[in-house]
Structure formats: structure tokens, C-alpha cells
Structure 1
Amino acid sequence: MSAIVDKLYSSAKGETYSFRQLFEVVNEKNKKLIYSNVLSASQELGMIERSDINIDIKFEQNSISEYKIVRKGDYVVHLRSFQGGFAFSDKTGICSPAYTILHPNDLVAYGYLSHFFISKPFIKSLKLVTYGIRDGRSINVDEWLDMTVTLPTKREQSHILAIINAIDNKLHNENQIHNYMFRQRTYLLKTMFI
């Protein structure tokens, strides 16, 4: 899957933009306590409900007024730069004030860069703007915004996303079939020796 994603993004033709031309850094705080669902960054799943990660992270309920608002379609720069450090959000909620929220403009199709930001070539390119040692490394967002990316038309972006989503769905279905067959095999082996 990663090889297909790398190939699709690397072969895309289009105009070259700096990330600064594609994203606005948003620091909207949850001052009015509109949102209470806390989101956390997951490398594979993007932004997910903190309650879904099976890690009990303690926080003061009254401190959520300082949390940042993440809107559906935003990208979040989180602390795991060695894994890419970017997570796509397909939901609205709030997240740690340590995260940087990036709101894409109209040149970027919904979710188009979500797979690109976890691709090996992109992660490798982050070495130029990543500082610190080992797991403590962090991305200098201001420097990253000056890096460039080739962006195809929105129609081509949607086409690339459709291909990746079709492969994702196929892998998910095959994995489910594998799990069902494994359970059936286990059942049959148990009943065979009764």
C-alpha cells in the first residue's frame, strides 16, 4: 500500500506551491466551551476521539477552554515527527494546545494530503525542519510552511484519493474475510475432535 501511495503522489503533475500557500495556521481556543470531545492524533487513523485510543490520559475538565478547536478537514501537526507528525481530522472537536492546527484552502481537495503526510518520502523530507533527538524531535512549522509540494488539479486529487480509498476498502474487506475464515477454522478444528 505504501509503495502505491508513494507512486501516486510522486507521479502527480501540477503546480508547485509552498505549504504556506495552501494552509493557514489556526489557533482558535475553546474559550466558549462549545466542544467537549477531546481528539488525539493517531498516525494510522488521523484524529480520533481520545476515549478510543485505550489510554487513560488525565486532564482537568476546566482546562479544555485552552484546548484548540479542530474542524473537519483540518490537519494537525502533533508530536510524533518521526512518524510524519501530521494527522488528518475527519471530525470536529478539541485537541491539546501543544498541537498546531492547519486549515487547508480551496486548492486542496478534502483529505487529499492525508496519505501524503504519512508517506515515506514526505517523512524523509521532514529531516530538514525537524529538531531534537529521538522521540523528542519536533517539527519547526514555520520552516515547514516554506517547503514545497506539487499539487495536481482538484479533479486529479479526487481521482488519486478514490484509488487509495478503493485499495483501503479492499484491504479492509480482505482482512475481515481472513478473520472470519480463521474463526471458522478454529470452530471446525474444535468440533472435529469432540
Structure 2
Amino acid sequence: MSKKKKLIPELRFPQFVKEGEWEYLNGNELFEPISNRNHNSDLPILAVTQEQGAIPRELIDYHVSVSDKSIESYKVVEVGDFIISLRSFQGGIEYSNYLGLCSPAYIVLRKKLDVPNDFYRHYFKSFPFIQDLNKNLEGIRDGKMISYKQFSDILIPKPKKQEQQKIASCLSSLDELITAHSDKLETLAAYKKGLMQNLFPQEGQKVPNYRFPEFEKDGKWIKASLGDYYKNLSTGMTPSRQKPEYFNGKIPWITSGELNYNTITKTREYITEEAVKDTNLRIYPPGTLFIAITGLEAPGTRGKCGLNGVEATTNQSCMAFKENSVIDTLFLFHWYMNFSEELYRYSQGTKQQSFNNSIVERFEIVHPSKKEQRKIAFCLSAVDELITAQAEKIEQLQQHKRGLMQGLFPKIEN
């Protein structure tokens, strides 16, 4: 039996304050490795993910072909098992809610004692545990795995069963709340997608499926090319990095990596007035649309767009579209998000690694009067605000959970 270690968590439910220290055991005292290959290859193959744990591949976008012969060597995973994956040193140990098969490359762990699964499901994804997992694990990189021996050397908490259940119930309830808000976010995103499909004419059409009542008698939308309304589209540039005085200024400087169908109010870098003057950079008013014209490599930035929420300048990888008398920039932003995939046709099959004026000016747009454009743009922007607020709410809940876990689970000091 290994040496026991005892600690007290920073946060504790009132009924357990007088319970004293937690007991800690080595990993091999709580869990054992399981290598059950007794199956007929008729169970679902599980993908081991950091976000959803072990989950059947058909439930997620995971397409890896495996031969029947290979599946024979796969291990059986039962509901309640834990799995040490290739990336456990980054994201903790995964839990399975499914009966299925996993690659023999993984280590399947099963509890040896009568302890609640959910307590360890949360603990094995906590920051304190991941820190412990990485202690003395030199040389661990992608493609390598934490061994059962290394797991066995880690001290793992074993508070009394009632306290384990209370902690697990608290964190699981928070998970359910996060899931409910995530479902709402998906519903809002789907609603916006459907709204865009109805507010913009479909391919080959000049009238949308849905039109605001005051515009029903306005006739067909106008089909044109962006070049009909935008000539000699401008880009920015990068001030010389050899002159430190050009940077750490107060003027927002937008780069293509910051464009992600968003409104930008803060930039990664700010430049000085001297940099703007010496490099003849333009300052664009709020509401200017920027499209990334370079970046094919994954994750790829070319074609992504964004609006500036404040006065800003940009680098040579962004093309700027300012408001004009015909096209409302906010409308153009939403229209572009809806049809950007189709716009790639204009550059496919060429060796052109970036968009340029001649390519962008050929992009086709169908638009109504500017007044109707603004009505559509404001409607879609209102939904965007709901989506942004919902995403922020989820992030706040996730941050709350991370902080709660750090308080509920003691950290073993070196």
C-alpha cells in the first residue's frame, strides 16, 4: 500500500467542513487497466475526444476507415470506464457513457472501489489533475501516451462517498445548464441561417422568399457585380518592423487573422500616428467591411470578413469596402456571409493564391434599394446580438465552472 496524503479543498459544502482532510491514493489503488478484446466487432467504434469524451464516431464528424481485421484487436469499453488518450497530458482523462470499442492504442481504466463515476469524470478534467498529470512526465508530446505506471504514481483524491456525490451533483448540474444554453445557441444559429435563406433571393432568383411588407411592391432586386460599385479597392500595409516607434500606438491596425465574420473593436496591435503618416495608411471609418484576401493554409483566413466597430487601419492582407451611395456596408457584410462559399468559384482552378481587385470586382451581388438593405441588415444584426450574448453567457458559465473546480479540488503542491 502506498503512502497516503491528505489535503483540504479551498471550497467545501457546509456539511463537510468538519470532515477533516481528504484522503489521497495512488492511481493504481483506485483504477485498474482493462484490455477486454472479447467481442464480435459488432459494437460501435468510439472516438475519444477532449470535448465529448468517448462517443460513437457516427454521432460526430469523424471519418476514419478501419479494416475488419484491425477492429478485432480493439478493446471493449463499458459505460463508466475512463480512457487515457494520446492527448491526456493536455486535456485530462476521458469518460465513456457508451458501450463500444476503442483503439488498442488507448488505455482503458475501470474503478476498483465503490466510488461515484461522476466525481472522477469531473476530477480527471480539472486543472489541478492535469497539472499533476504533467509532473515528471518529460518528453510527452502528441503521439505519445501517459502509461498506466505513470498514472499509478499520481495521487488521486478519495473523500467520503457523500462528499463525492455532492461535488459531482453540483458540477453535473452546471454541465446541464451549459448544455441547455449551448442548445439555445445552436437554435439561434439555425434560426439565423434560415432567416438569411429567406431574406436573400436564392441562386438564379431576384426576389426573396420573404420580404418586409413595406417593400413587397418594390419589384425585383438588381443583379450587378461588385465592380459596378467598387473601383480600385484598397488594402493597407505593414509598417516597418525595424522601427519599434511605429508600434504600441493608439490606432487599431487590423490583420486578416482577426477577421472571422465579426465586428472588431479591439485589435492585437496598435500603431502610431507616425506609422500612419510615413506609410500613407488610410484610416477607415467604423462600419467598413474588410475581406481577407490571403491565407489558404489551414485554418485558412482567405475569404473571411469582418466589420470595424471603431476607426482603424489595416495591413496588406485585408481589402476594404467603404459605404457608398448604392450598397449599405452592413447589408454587404450579411450578404457576403450568406454567399461567401459561392464566391470562391471566381478564384478556383487558378494559381492565384490571393484575391485581387479583378477577382473581387467580378463577385456578383443581387440587392434591393438601400432602404430595404438597411432593414434586412438591422434584422440580421439583431439576431447576431442575441447569438453573441448567448455565446458570452456560455463562456461565463464555463469560466465559473473552471474556477469552481479549482476550489473544489485541492492542488497538491510540489
Q: TM-score range by the shorter chain?
A: 0.7 to 0.9
* Match of residue 96 from structure 1: 103
Over the matched positions of the two proteins, sequence identity in percent amounts to 30
1:15 CA displacement: 1.8
- How many Å separate the matches in 1 of 2:138 and 2:64? 26
Q: Which moved more, 1:41-50 or 1:166-175?
A: 166-175
1:170 maps to 177
Tell whether the 8 Å contact from 1:67 to 1:97 is kept in structure 2 after alignment.
yes
Deviation at 1:143, TM superposition (A): 2.3
- CA positional deviation for 1:75: 0.4
Matched AA of 1:22: L
SS of residue matched to 1:171: helix
Tell me what 1:114 maps to.
Answer: 121
Residue 141 of structure 1 deviates from its aligned partner by 2.0
Counterpart of 1:49 (choices 47, 50, 56) is 56
Match of 1:22 in 2: 30
> Relative contact order (alpha carbons < 8 A, sep ≥ 6): 1 or 2 greater?
1
More helix by share: 1
How has the CA–CA distance of structure 1 residues 14 and 75 changed in structure 2, closer, same or farther, with 3 Å as cutoff?
Answer: same
Aligned-partner residue type, residue 97 of structure 1? P
The total of aligned residue pairs comes to: 185
Structure 1 counterpart of 2:82, which letter? Y
Residues 61, 183 of structure 1: alpha-carbon distance in 2 compared, 3 angstrom cutoff: closer
How far apart in 2 are the matches of 1:28 and 1:17? 25
Task: After superposition, give the CA deviation of every residue in 1:32-82 in whole Å (9 maximum; x if it has no partner).
Answer: 416431112111211101223312111111322211111111101110134
Q: 1:17, CA displacement in angstroms?
A: 1.2
Which residue is equivalent to 1:140?
147
**Aligned letter for 2:25?**
Y
| Contact kept? 2:75, 2:104, Cα under 8 Å | yes
Partner Cα distance (1:96, 1:183) in 2: 35
Query: Whole-Å Cα distance in 2 between the matches of residues 181 and 113 of structure 1?
Result: 33
State whether residues 129 and 139 of structure 1, in contact with CA within 8 Å, keep that contact through their aligned partners in structure 2: no
8 Å contact kept, 1:28–1:68? yes
Unaligned runs of 5+ in 1: 1-8
Question: Pairwise CA RMSD of aligned residues?
Answer: 2.7
Unaligned runs of 5+ in 2: 1-8, 13-20, 200-210, 213-374, 377-414
- Tell me which amino acid in the other structure corresponds to 2:30: L
Report the alpha carbon displacement of residue 19 of structure 1 after superposing the two structures with TM: 1.1
Give the direction of change, closer, same or farther, for the CA distance of 1:85–1:183 in structure 2 (3 Å limit).
closer
1: CA distance, partners of 2:114 / 2:131: 24
